[in-house]
Structure 1
Amino acid sequence: MLRIRNAVGALNSRWVISILLLIQFTYGLSTITGSVNIFYNLSYLSNQSILDLKSTFLVVPDKITGGLLKDKFNQEQVKNIYTELGNNPDVVSYGTYYEDTVLLDPSKDSLDSKMFVELTKTNLGFDEPSISAIVLDENYYQLLELKLKSGQGLMEQDFNKNRNENVHVLVGSYFKKYYKIGDVINSQYTINGFLPDKYIVNNNTSNTYQKLDKSMLIPMSKEIYNDYNSMFTRLHLGTILKLREGANLEDLTEIIRLPGNDVSLSLKSFGEEIKQNVKENAYIEIPQLILGISFIIFSVIGIVVTTIVSIMIRKREFGIKLALGESKIGILAQIIIENSIIGITGVVLSLGHFLWKYSALLRFSSEFNYASALDYKLNGTILFFVFLVLLVIIVISSCIVYLFIRKLDPKSLIGGME
């Protein structure tokens, strides 16, 4: 406690230099927090897909202008496409899905107040909480190969029910705090398993994806599955293929194209899309990374220089301490405490600056829970890396300062007076 009190007094005596260091830490660590977010997200995209990146392919349209011309074709033509895909030796499996939103009804369920707030998407103008959902057919569910406990998961009969009937659903890990297996949401969706903390495709034409921790997987009802309009839309926007290595993409592309269709369909490698997304964002982040490295270097230099100057200003104080038996390690400990106080204060200010600067993006990321390069957050992992950077700065600067301290002797510090 005495060392801390002395450290605060020392910082107060050199407050101008301390404030300059605080400003440097505030903006430098705020920049690093942004860069850590980006690279954390890129790592997440590369490693946390529920779909196999190597074998998964998405059916994508070349354009969507004025809606899809469903009237030019019929249900039999679309069914034939899926029949041919199922018979093709290059296709391991395939499935279809569409994105939906489940509005939670407080009159049917007693909702926790915290969950109510966290699931309300104010960016969309919603006043009621909602759950982002992926409605998937049985083929797609089998394609996911989820490893759940016996008796859990979606059942075959769930895919044969009508839209408003009670069905089993899977929900993300977030809901473990509020529900258990067998609980019913909206008097319709019975929870029969929890999803891993990964992400899933929710739009074949986008490079943002749906995280599963706050999501729900719903079995597609038989009337929706067999509805031509839904089937036609899913062909263009919601078809997933799992292909064998070396699959003939040209032949498969010909299969999925409807003759005379104004919208051309093609196959896109999910893994290549993720790889390209990661590569582009990593390149974009290089200038910020350079700024972050420069901050670390200048922070070390700044701390070393100001510390040495402080020692020279207070050399009589340190000389007396050494003469009275204080070790040089003890002097170093005093200096480390002073610099740590500046560093920790700088971290707090930098996080405040980061929250202010990216407040809109942080709120959007929290509400929509998308996996993307710009999914900014302040979770435990991000804070760990920020404090790790601070620790590196303190350790390196302290080692350099110690090389200076070890050469000091009491007589030179106090001028031979005592």
Structure 2
Amino acid sequence: MPSTSDHDVPHALEPVDTEKPPPPPPPFVEGGLRGYMTIFGAFFALFAAFGQSMAFGSFQLWYSQNQLVEYTASDISWIGSVQLWVFFVSGGVVGRLFDAYGPTWLLASGTIILTFSLMMTSLATKYYEFILAQGIVFGIGFGLLFFPSMSATATHFMKYRATALGIAVAGSSVGGVVFPIMLQQLFDKVGFGWAVRISAFVCLACGVIATALVSSRLPKRKPGPWIDVSSLKDVNYAIFVLGSAVTCLGIFVPMYYIVQYAQEYHISQSLAFGVLSIMNAGSVFGRIAPSIMADRIGRFNTLIPSTALMGIFTLALWLHAHDLATITTYSVFYGFFSGSWFAMQTSCIAQISRMDKIGVRMGMAYSLVSFPALVGEPIAGAILTRDNASYTGMIVFTGVSLLLGSLITLVVKLRINRSLLAKV
């Protein structure tokens, strides 16, 4: 049930617009050739950008044993956290630009910047160089590929929007399977530098495909304000963003630390890298199957249990996973339900937003959750260091964050419809 709070804002608070109103979008057609091409292009964009980011656990382990051996796990995790923060915080800017100009030139820019960042990472040797190249510059390219792809896909679908977005975002999980395996093999065979350069060329090819195929059905229009005040006054939207922010404190922790955790229990490096790929493989199914189900039982009805089950499996299973079989089992379940969470975010934002505000609302949401995403992994690393390499405190922090995030999001569903069984 869409939120109507956008229409409740007093007209006196709205700026007077003497410009000619933008042309209306063409009559809506569910999917169509352009819609299906956009899903295909978005899949490749997320394969490159999000897939590479989800493989950071591979870099975390490599850096701890090679270039950054003198740094703590918390120090190294700041590289990935800065990457995520820049990606998230860019959403407000990129979403506004998407609403005004469409996806094509944003995707082209993102492809160039992402490729450049990986090339610079391959040459880096010092901590600050990794922060700049793999953290800041990569995060910018990541945002320029992710937000236009997801927003554009949402404009082509209504009835099957969750399914379409789930298929598109599954590209990130496929990339999360491929890149750790590829990097682990290439690190040993051609060395760090060429391994990262080869992954850069893969990302370049994917970005070119995305730029050529992704389109939006909405007409270009005059850029709106940088901050959409009416959206911030929408209580459902504000609570949803708060729930996502709390979830982001913990959701990336297993992806960053599962490889290092596996090695703590004397699992070989190749199998430890494989655990991360298994987690991302579970995420592939988690992004598609729940998305198809969400169009039938409700997007919030899918998102909320998925978030809660991430927390439950983290506390009940990861806390007691001390061998390869148990760690692998946890990785499969966590990957599946985290994939569902990522797939449902855009669908839920779109459900409580007008179509012409999907881009800016999605961008603002990611910008606002960027701060917990920035500090979540370093907090986990600091807890690990404080506890003398005992993972118990870190795992409890992760699980509690996820459970609390699910409870806050439940408030939005109950505000839309108080019946727990209602399709929302």
Q: TM-score, normalised by structure 2?
A: 0.22
**Higher-Rg member (1/2):** 1
| Structure with higher strand content | 1
Q: TM-score, normalised by structure 1?
A: 0.22
| Structure with higher helix content | 2
